[in-house]
Structure 1
């Protein structure tokens, strides 16, 4: 049985946040979506050890702390490193992709231009993580 996920979306673009909410609603998924507009806000959310997300969807291009910097912070933190982080970005820069995998990203998804393609990708990502045997620490 698929489980409902607690998702932390770290995204500074309001349109992208609305697009994710619309997609989850359109797919009739009961996942809980929590939003952070930047890495600093996300780190504040992650201080509550009783409410760790099941997955983090992370944009790369953000103010204050870049996505790569945030990913490094998460993966270097023993209490947070187990949380799967999936990059959701428009950047197809090969250097970014390689750097994220070196740090320990769980996935790297390019945001497509067409909404139908976006829905399809998000559906696949969330479907995979909802059947994956996530371990809570």
Structure 2
């Protein structure tokens, strides 16, 4: 029997909560969704700890009365007890400044609320694939034009896993620029060279946690985050991709501001579909501030 996953849905708009609630229920099975009507209610709940199961994810509206989403996410990420819980902010705004501020406060991903009700199901699929991992969904391969001039960096010290990842990504996105690194020094050297020469920085970073130790992976994660902050670069999603599903590893990565944590599928045959879904959503569905 699959474990029931808990999600907090925090939004003062009842209609928006209903649309997302229905979409999540359609797409994801074995999901316990707790509706929370305001930021104040969420803060009170997290402070008292009076909930049966800690949430695997918090879906958070930006514009709410009394205490808004930006204030809430900062409080969550500043708190040792809650900083490991991933937060997806959902808003009607497409302001580059506000989206950037949301990431600076610590959100794991930002999604713009759909105009069409049916698009809430696509939003639910993105949430599932990138954060809840209940199942996989076949998505149409994006047009080659979309992926031109986009770089994905893969930091992976296993040759076997690199071969699988390279095959999967190039099969689904033949025009992507795919770069492999195997350790911290090479990764940081490339990032600095790309930046100094005015070249493209990665649109997405897939980072193995054990390089070969967990400490080395976490150190590289922190170094990339510092590099982005010091050079005032727009947010680059960093997805931890590991064989480990241990909660200690997951908490540690979210505590270091990884955008998401995914466990490598044991069945190699599902890797192409897995990466197609993953890359589709991180490159096309979630919103990030641009240069």
TM-score range normalised by the length of the shorter chain: 0.7 to 0.9
Q: How does 1:116-127 map to 2 (within 5 A)?
A: 116-127=118-129
Structure number with higher relative contact order (C-alpha < 8 Å, ≥ 6 residues apart): 1
Aligned equivalent of 1:34: 34
Distance 1:134 1:114 in 2: 38
- Residues 118 and 45 from structure 1, CA distance in 2 versus in 1: closer, same or farther, beyond 3 angstroms? same
1:108 equivalent in alignment to 2:110: yes
Aligned equivalent of 2:277: none
What does the per-residue CA deviation read over 1:39-95, in whole Å, with 9 as the maximum and x for residues that have no partner?
110112223276321100000000110100001111111111111000011111111
Q: How does 1:1-137 map to 2 (within 5 A)?
A: 4-27=4-27, 29-46=29-46, 47-48=48-49, 51-131=53-133, 133=245, 135=247
Kindly state the Cα deviation for residue 16 of structure 1 after the two structures are TM-superposed: 0.8
Please give the root-mean-square deviation of Cα atoms over the aligned residues, in Å: 2.2
Normalised TM-score (structure 1):
0.88
- Residues 22 and 56 from structure 1, CA distance in 2 versus in 1: closer, same or farther, beyond 3 angstroms? same
Bigger mean CA offset, 61-70 vs 14-23: 14-23
Q: Does the CA contact (< 8 Å) of 1:54 and 1:134 recur in 2?
A: no
Paired positions, count: 136
Unaligned runs of 5+ in 1: none
Unaligned runs of 5+ in 2: 134-240, 252-291
Distance 1:63 1:91 in 2: 16
Q: Does the CA contact (< 8 Å) of 2:28 and 2:128 recur in 1?
A: no
Distance 1:23 1:92 in 2: 22
Larger Rg: 2
Q: Does the CA contact (< 8 Å) of 1:10 and 1:56 recur in 2?
A: yes
Normalised TM-score (structure 2):
0.43
Distance 2:77 2:36 in 1: 18
